[in-house]
């Protein structure tokens, strides 16, 4: 077999294509890697590969959701009470931001299908901006919690050194964790148990905030990765790498972005709306 | 796994038959409606939460069920239209559902154990 | 084609200098070269894990703790467990043989994502370096299971580094799994339908599914342990308000299916070898193929049998016990079908076949004792004794490593183009078989008599069996060293193998040995089922036999 030359391979008949023949055939197919035979095959491989990766991402978050389910079931009263300390209006705003970004991504794939690469770039820019917006709002939420730990009411007050926080509380898990007095939320007529007044005492409240920071933090990390991916693909678009015949990276990058959205769709009601 | 046609459609012959390869198309109208639907569902879930907190005390299990049903509906919209599952091959559709199936296995078995054990877990197994 | 000179194939070295040569290996995207990189790295870790095992067995030769303190002993067996499981058994067959063979067997030019494949090797190496650094700077004493709250709160060892190693290595495993799934789905040669695929492909496919679905859960669990350990806030330590059994649920959700990551590809290798050296189509092809998938799926439903004494509810225990029994069905289907394949076959006892036959026997013992352990009552009696140790070594060493070595021998001519020394091959296979049984069979007895695992001292009356076990381990070690020597020698002096030294079927034997960079000069077209040996092959072989021809 080692001596089989491309010429001989061609001689074997129409149904067998020599390797050399393949290279020749594919010279004009943009973006087709040598080990694939057809663009359809390559696209199916890319899509399937991305979905398989998204499965792993969902399973990754699944571990945190599992812990959440167990402790929500174990400490329902604590969780309902603790959730009142999260900033639901900001989270709602963030949900809108994410949904819009999902739309821009979906539209960019549509534009790429039709070869409107300028529009793809614009939509990618919008997506990345929305991603940063999401991270900014998220960061503000985190900063608020840290500001409370340091005795200030808002991050801005913390930065300028004015505006003491009225309540002595710290909702960042750790040695300084201090849950303020209950808001009077009840669970089936049963008031939330009083929180210990010593800082750092392990309570179900701390479990809630730990899960909150882990889940949203991991989600934010995925957002950072998503922004990076979108920037790289946007750069590739700008360099003119894609055409209506080949835009797999745009499509699978979009899949990744939508996954970030899906995770948030579950995080939002589970943490903010209980 | 009985997708023998699938292998043929990705075979090495050049005049590749389309088979179950992606051939559909999702238009701008669909994207717009999907987006509007998503926004609507989001306001619905926030509204349900507000009502639950301020107007009408419903049992917690009902509230959670409503919230999760809405989240599932949103996920379905995103996956089916935005992520093109509607026009993807059957194989991709199966893979997309795999994660949810195995997460369900994890949740159901572990929670089955917790229900049988009672809470707090430190008490140990039920008699 | 009668070959007189070795075709260079993918091993051809046309790099102009040492740096270029190094780059041609370290930056390669050729799945075959990556498989060789894995082979070197994985065997290094195997020897390291073996070294730890040696230290353990030497310590256990006497009832007193005269070589090590209990603390050092804990670190030694943890090192053995972590290296062997995360860095040898899980990647061994998929990453080495699978990487080399999956594209060849399905007639593709490469895996679907060649660069991802290279990346997964680098990730594996980074994970390995984390684990090695942790070992060098004092090791870790939690056992490979990292049970909380010991690992997260009380242990004074390098838990974080080791966890980081396992965490990072998990991504390598995931990427390999994704690559195989996509490759097997989208890149099969024309005419190669699912039921014409070699069974090695089926089992690797099932393995990849487990890798993709289970590994992320371990990643997040280890991440939570690390958070708990670093910041002292956590969800597993009861002192922090958490539930340690939750950790065990999440951990075993990965780690029980991981057992099948280790054994399933081995079963694929055995199917190939048995069929080739019986000169018969595998009996019950469809049953073996689907039993792989059945094992993969059932494997996700039985993790609780590791937790019978963990304060898991007794009702869960009973359900888990029952479902665990079900795993025996697909496993037994495989064993019966292999045995039926041997029946009336033209069996030749070449080295790979010796390993395969050894596999069947040892796997049966390992599997049946697994059924004992799946029964709650027996399990509680022998929990954490040497009975358990012997059971999983029968499956992991007697199963996975026998299959790994058998596969290496079987495809060695394809990987290197040269034959190894058949006589030494047979001898070392027998030495390994004897040494293995001598090491681990006494441990069944020890465990049944009540010797707990993970202790470095023990009562006098256990000494005879422990000495026997240590002596067996020495024989086993010799058995592992001999192949290294003659396989290395074969690279220089081995006979040129030719394309198909075993007269086997399968696309990988249709190309040259070693294969060219893009595997096939012409894209192969498949128009027959796998293992299409002529029905009268055994009779013809028997008629053609004369004294002196190979068995």
- Which subunits count as partners of chain C given 3+ CB pairs below 8 Å? A, B
A165: tokens are: 């926080």
pLDDT value, residue C468:
96
Query: How much is the average pLDDT of A94-108?
Result: 95
Instruction: Test C213 with B112 for CB contact under 8 angstroms.
Output: no
SS3 A186: strand
Separation CA C85–CA C128 (nearest Å) = 12
B121 in reach of chain C (CB within 8 A):
yes
Tens of pLDDT along C38-88? 999 999 999 999 999 999 999 999 999 888 999 999 999 999 999 999 999
What mean pLDDT, rounded, does chain A reach?
83
- Which subunits count as partners of chain A given 3+ CB pairs below 8 Å? B, C
User: B121-125, C168-172, C336-340, C380-384: which range is least confident on average?
Assistant: B121-125
pLDDT value, residue C549:
60
Strand partners, A246: A243
Evaluate whether A158 touches A152 at the Cβ level (below 8 Å).
yes
Among the partner residues C108, C220, C512, nearest to A63 by beta-carbon distance:
C220
pLDDT value, residue A53:
95
What whole-number percentage of chain A has pLDDT above 90? Answer: 52
Query: How much is the average pLDDT of A208-223?
Result: 95
Separation CA C201–CA C208 (nearest Å) = 10
pLDDT value, residue A13:
35
Count of all residues that appear for chain A in the document: 274
Separation CA B9–CA B23 (nearest Å) = 13
With a cut of 80, say whether residue C382 has pLDDT above it: yes
C37: tokens are: 């990189």
With a cut of 80, say whether residue B40 has pLDDT above it: yes
User: A24-33, B112-121, C375-384: which range is least confident on average?
Assistant: A24-33
Strand partners, C115: none
State which residue of chain C sits closest to B96, comparing Cα positions.
C213
Separation CA C519–CA C115 (nearest Å) = 17
What whole-number percentage of chain C has pLDDT above 70? Answer: 98
Strand partners, C418: C496
**C138 to chain B, minimum CA–CA distance in Å?**
34
With a cut of 50, say whether residue C21 has pLDDT above it: yes
Which pLDDT band holds residue C11 (cuts at 50, 70, 90)?
confident
Among the partner residues C1, C109, C178, nearest to A1 by beta-carbon distance:
C1
Evaluate whether C1 touches C500 at the Cβ level (below 8 Å).
no
Separation CA C40–CA C231 (nearest Å) = 38
Separation CA C210–CA C216 (nearest Å) = 10
pTM for this model (two decimals): 0.91
pLDDT value, residue C212:
95
CA-nearest of C123, C38, C127, C42 to C84 is: C42
Instruction: Test C233 with A210 for CB contact under 8 angstroms.
Output: yes
C152: tokens are: 């997260």
Separation CA C14–CA A2 (nearest Å) = 17
State which residue of chain A sits closest to C211, comparing Cα positions.
A56
* Chain A residues with beta carbon closer than 8 angstroms to that of C414: none
With a cut of 70, say whether residue C312 has pLDDT above it: yes
Evaluate whether C111 touches C188 at the Cβ level (below 8 Å).
no
Instruction: Test C190 with B13 for CB contact under 8 angstroms.
Output: yes
pLDDT value, residue B82:
92
- A74 vs A126, which has greater pLDDT? A126
Instruction: Test C316 with B112 for CB contact under 8 angstroms.
Output: yes
What mean pLDDT, rounded, does chain C reach?
92
CA-nearest of C396, C365, A47, A102 to B35 is: A102
**C183 to chain A, minimum CA–CA distance in Å?**
7
pLDDT value, residue A5:
35
pLDDT value, residue A151:
83
Which pLDDT band holds residue B61 (cuts at 50, 70, 90)?
confident
ipTM for the predicted complex comes to: 0.91
State which residue of chain A sits closest to C103, comparing Cα positions.
A35
With a cut of 50, say whether residue A164 has pLDDT above it: yes
Among the partner residues C300, C313, C319, nearest to B102 by beta-carbon distance:
C300
What whole-number percentage of chain C has pLDDT above 90? Answer: 78
Q: Please list, in sequence order, all residues whose beta carbon lies within 8 angstroms of the beta carbon of residue C75, skipping any fewer than 6 positions away.
A: C138, C139, C140, C141, C157
Tens of pLDDT along C79-131? 999 999 999 999 999 999 999 999 999 999 999 999 999 999 999 999 999 99
* Chain B residues with beta carbon closer than 8 angstroms to that of A254: 82-83
Q: Is the Cα dihedral A202, A207, A211, A213 positive or negative? A: negative
Which pLDDT band holds residue A182 (cuts at 50, 70, 90)?
low
C212 in reach of chain A (CB within 8 A):
yes
Query: How much is the average pLDDT of A233-245?
Result: 91
With a cut of 80, say whether residue B21 has pLDDT above it: no
Q: What are phi and psi of A103, to 5 degrees?
A: -65, -45
With a cut of 50, say whether residue B20 has pLDDT above it: no
With a cut of 60, say whether residue A17 has pLDDT above it: no
Query: How much is the average pLDDT of A57-76?
Result: 93
Separation CA A58–CA B75 (nearest Å) = 12
Separation CA A22–CA A272 (nearest Å) = 56
Which pLDDT band holds residue C181 (cuts at 50, 70, 90)?
very high
Tens of pLDDT along C291-310? 999 999 999 999 999 999 98
Which pLDDT band holds residue C259 (cuts at 50, 70, 90)?
very high
Which pLDDT band holds residue C529 (cuts at 50, 70, 90)?
confident
Among the partner residues A48, A92, A103, nearest to B35 by beta-carbon distance:
A103
Evaluate whether A105 touches A254 at the Cβ level (below 8 Å).
yes
Among the partner residues C192, C300, C313, nearest to B7 by beta-carbon distance:
C192
pLDDT value, residue A244:
87
* Chain A residues with beta carbon closer than 8 angstroms to that of B39: 96, 99
Tens of pLDDT along C344-373? 888 888 999 999 999 999 999 999 999 999
Evaluate whether C319 touches C512 at the Cβ level (below 8 Å).
no
CA-nearest of C352, C353, C360, C356 to C410 is: C352
Separation CA A186–CA A78 (nearest Å) = 9
With a cut of 70, say whether residue C511 has pLDDT above it: yes
pLDDT value, residue A188:
52
Tens of pLDDT along A73-87? 988 888 988 898 899
Instruction: Test B79 with A258 for CB contact under 8 angstroms.
Output: yes
């Amino acid at each position: 077999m080692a001596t089989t030359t491309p010429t001989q391979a061609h001689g074997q008949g129409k149904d067998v294509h020599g390797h050399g023949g393949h290279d020749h055939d594919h010279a004009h197919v943009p973006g087709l890697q040598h080990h694939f035979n057809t663009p359809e095959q390559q696209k199916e491989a890319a899509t399937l590969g991305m979905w398989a990766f998204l499965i792993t991402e969902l399973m990754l978050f699944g571990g945190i959701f599992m812990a959440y389910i167990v402790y929500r079931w174990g400490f329902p009263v604590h969780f309902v009470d603790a959730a009142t300390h999260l900033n639901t209006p900001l989270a709602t705003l963030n949900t809108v931001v994410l949904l819009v970004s999902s739309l821009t991504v979906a539209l960019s794939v549509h534009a790429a299908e039709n070869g409107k690469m300028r529009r793809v770039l614009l939509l990618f820019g919008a997506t990345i901006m929305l991603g940063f917006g999401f991270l900014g709002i998220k960061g503000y939420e985190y900063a608020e919690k840290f500001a409370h730990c340091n005795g200030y009411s808002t991050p801005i007050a913390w930065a300028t050194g004015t505006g003491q926080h009225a309540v002595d509380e710290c909702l960042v898990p750790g040695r300084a964790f201090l849950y303020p007095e209950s808001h009077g939320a009840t669970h089936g007529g049963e008031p939330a148990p009083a929180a210990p007044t010593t800082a750092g005492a392990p309570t179900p409240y701390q479990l809630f905030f730990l899960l909150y920071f882990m889940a949203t933090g991991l989600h934010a990390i995925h957002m950072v990765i998503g922004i990076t991916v979108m920037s790289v693909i946007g750069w590739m678009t700008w360099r003119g790498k894609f055409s209506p015949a080949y835009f797999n990276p745009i499509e699978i990058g979009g899949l990744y972005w939508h996954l970030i959205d899906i995770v948030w769709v579950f995080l939002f009601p589970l943490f903010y709306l209980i | 796994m009985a997708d023998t046609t699938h292998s043929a459609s990705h075979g090495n012959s050049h005049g590749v038959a389309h088979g179950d390869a992606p051939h559909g198309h999702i238009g701008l109208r669909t994207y717009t409606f999907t987006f509007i639907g998503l926004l609507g569902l989001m306001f619905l879930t926030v509204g349900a939460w507000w009502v639950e907190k301020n107007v009408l005390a419903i049992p917690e299990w009902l509230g959670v069920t409503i919230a999760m049903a809405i989240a599932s509906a949103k996920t379905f919209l995103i996956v089916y239209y935005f992520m093109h599952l509607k026009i993807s091959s059957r194989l991709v559709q199966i893979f997309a559902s795999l994660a949810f199936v195995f997460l369900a296995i994890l949740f159901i078995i572990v929670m089955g154990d917790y229900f049988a054990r009672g809470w707090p877990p430190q008490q140990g197994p039920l008699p | 084609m009668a070959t007189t000179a070795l075709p260079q194939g993918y091993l051809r070295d046309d790099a102009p200098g040492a740096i270029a040569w190094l780059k041609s290996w370290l930056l390669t995207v050729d799945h075959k070269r990556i498989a060789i990189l894995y082979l070197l790295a994985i065997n290094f870790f195997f020897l390291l894990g073996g070294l730890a095992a040696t230290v353990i067995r030497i310590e256990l030769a006497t009832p007193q703790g005269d070589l090590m303190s209990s603390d050092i002993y804990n670190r030694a067996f943890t090192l053995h467990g972590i290296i062997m499981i995360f860095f040898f058994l899980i990647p061994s067959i998929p990453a080495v043989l699978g990487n080399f063979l999956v594209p060849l067997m399905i007639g593709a030019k490469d895996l679907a994502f060649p660069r991802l494949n290279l990346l997964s090797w680098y990730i594996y190496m980074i994970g390995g370096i984390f684990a090695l650094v942790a070992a060098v700077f004092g090791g870790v004493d939690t056992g490979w299971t990292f049970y909380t709250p010991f690992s997260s709160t009380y242990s004074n060892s390098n838990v974080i580094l080791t966890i980081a190693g396992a965490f990072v290595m998990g991504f390598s495993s995931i990427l390999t799994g994704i690559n195989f799934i996509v490759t097997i789905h989208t890149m099969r040669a024309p005419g190669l339908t699912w039921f014409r695929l070699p069974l090695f492909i089926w089992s690797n496919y099932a393995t990849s599914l487990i890798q993709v679905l289970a590994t992320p859960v371990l990643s997040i669990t280890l991440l939570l342990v690390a958070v708990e350990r670093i910041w002292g806030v956590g969800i597993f330590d009861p002192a922090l308000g958490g539930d340690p059994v939750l950790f065990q649920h999440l951990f075993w959700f990965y780690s029980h299916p991981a057992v099948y990551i280790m054994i399933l590809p081995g079963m694929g290798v055995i199917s190939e070898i048995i069929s080739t050296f019986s000169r018969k189509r595998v009996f019950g092809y469809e049953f073996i193929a689907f039993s792989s998938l059945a094992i993969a799926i059932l494997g996700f439903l039985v993790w609780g049998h590791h937790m019978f004494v963990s304060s898991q509810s007794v009702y869960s225990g009973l359900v888990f016990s029952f479902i665990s029994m079900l795993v025996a069905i697909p496993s037994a289907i495989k064993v019966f079908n292999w045995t039926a394949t041997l029946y009336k076959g033209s069996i030749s006892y070449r080295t790979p076949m010796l390993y395969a036959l050894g596999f069947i026997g040892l796997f049966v013992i390992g599997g049946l004792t697994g059924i004992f352990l799946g029964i709650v009552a027996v399990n509680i009696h022998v929990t954490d004794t040497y009975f358990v140790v012997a059971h999983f070594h029968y499956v992991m060493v007697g199963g996975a490593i026998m299959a790994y070595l058998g596969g290496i021998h079987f495809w060695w001519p394809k990987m290197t183009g040269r034959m190894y020394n058949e006589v030494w091959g047979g001898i070392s296979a027998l030495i390994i078989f004897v040494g293995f049984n001598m090491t681990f069979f006494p441990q069944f007895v020890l465990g049944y008599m009540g010797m707990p695992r993970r202790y470095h001292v023990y009562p006098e009356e256990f000494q005879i069996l422990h000495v026997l076990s240590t002596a067996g381990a020495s024989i086993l070690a010799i058995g592992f060293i001999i192949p290294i020597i003659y396989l290395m020698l074969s690279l220089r002096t081995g006979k040129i193998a030719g394309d198909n030294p075993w007269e086997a079927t399968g696309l990988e034997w249709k190309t040259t040995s070693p294969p060219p960079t893009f595997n096939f000069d012409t894209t192969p077209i498949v128009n027959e089922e796998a293992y299409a040996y002529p029905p009268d092959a055994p009779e013809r072989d028997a008629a053609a036999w004369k004294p002196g021809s190979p068995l």
